[in-house]
Chains A and B, each alone.
Chain A
């Protein structure tokens, strides 16, 4: 366990009931309880192992796999009761992978942000072709794909070009007590989709050519 992170997270948690993304965290007697923020009552299935968070995070209410865990489709109907803050951190590492770590790195001034062009420039193999995506195609893809994610986007297309295809609040760090979910670089799901955009455009261009 990252001790420094545990200590910082304990201080953050001490200030009353908290929420991270779609998860509410509260103190119940000697335990910590995590549940979906929208599950205020009714029948909830109780889990007591931090490892169960991985299974709970894996699929939506409809049973669809969630490759990116910060999309706004966390499943409902469960409560996870844990005996220590260490285990709360471990569970949150499954619900929102790397988000506690990036929060802590950001507080230390060590968070490295990488713009999209740098991400694409280092791709090799089947993803090298993503370097051909135009700025317009990239903006459109980001507008479609990243709007479903709760993370605050810190990166740009390149230093001269911010992301303009998402609402301005998508780039603003949360104020007040909300826990920030930070996106420091385009994810590999986005890189994979960028490949599809380039390939489709190339295919369309070939078909447009006179025979």
Chain B
């Protein structure tokens, strides 16, 4: 097996972050901690749009000249194409920024391994539940400005459906049709597994989607780690189905491997 070794390179994992709760940045930090423990890169840093270290601070902290930037985002879109390049001063796949040579990798969500991670998450949340009697929902946001997360969710649905494991695989969204709130009429199978296709847990996965599913009532205030109790209630028996609700896909520890794969993929393409 090929082992990535980059002692003379730095890795920067960039995420969105939040000014309201720590859940948004937590998986990015956890993936970075896992990569640090493996000792693969000379340096590992995180940077965020809404938290510190910010995109504008992080290069000041990097010693290595050779720098890989991997966006911890679900899809190509406004952040990966506009905000991150602008804030880091990038003009293409490879940019000289001060004394650094920055290599801009693909976002994690576009990696082929996403399909495998979604299947793993679905199997873990509903152990022993036969996929041949199960509808699997991959839930995206939808209608975001310049955001292709809906396209990314559709792509994953096609890949999972092609594997033929689940009786039915559907994409659904919070703000565009097909709406996740219609899950019970959309699903033809007795078992239903719902996996949010988001990079982190937070307001959407803790509150918004559970409310739309009918497994939680609306609560005021920002989401917090305490809201994770929604996952402890599995399975939910309602509307003639048995429903299993998973946390966001971005909390899968396997994302650390995907981040490193995106670095390898960059090197393969650049060769």
A residues adjacent to B (C-beta < 8 A): 1-5, 51, 54, 58-59, 65, 67-69, 90, 93, 97-98, 100-102, 104-105, 110-112, 114, 122, 124-126, 184-185, 187-189, 192
Contact = CB atoms under 8 A, between A and B. Distances in A.
Nearest to B18: A67
Interface stretch (B57-65, B174-182, B238-246): B57-65
29 contacts: A2-B43, A2-B61, A2-B62, A54-B29, A58-B22, A65-B22, A67-B19, A67-B20, A90-B36, A93-B53, A97-B51, A98-B52, A98-B53, A98-B61, A101-B57, A101-B60, A101-B61, A102-B61, A104-B61, A105-B60, A105-B61, A110-B60, A124-B83, A124-B86, A185-B56, A187-B52, A188-B54, A189-B19, A192-B19
Contacts of A184: 56-57, 60
Contacts of A110: 60, 98-99
Contacts of B86: 122, 124
B204 interface: no
Nearest to B23: A65
A20 to B, nearest CB: 15
Interface of B: 18-22, 29, 33, 36, 42-43, 49-54, 56-58, 60-63, 78, 82-83, 86, 98-99, 145, 222, 224
Given A100-B61, A104-B60, A187-B52, 16 more contacts: A65-B222, A67-B50, A68-B52, A69-B52, A93-B53, A97-B52, A101-B57, A101-B60, A105-B61, A110-B60, A111-B60, A112-B60, A124-B83, A184-B56, A184-B57, A189-B50
Given A1-B43, A54-B29, A98 B63 contact: no
A93 B46 CA distance: 10
A104 to B, nearest CB: 8
Contacts, number: 83
B251 to A, nearest CB: 15
A65 B63 contact: no
A166 B29 CA distance: 33
Contacts of B29: 54
B57 A98 contact: yes
A112 B87 CA distance: 13
B19 to A, nearest CB: 4
B64 to A, nearest CB: 8
Contacts of B18: 67
Contact of B57 (A4, A102, A122, A125): A102
Contacts of B222: 65
A97 B82 CA distance: 24
Contacts of A90: 36
B63 A125 contact: no
Contacts of A59: 22
A184 B210 CA distance: 41
A101 B54 CA distance: 12
B49 to A, nearest CB: 6
Contacts of B98: 110
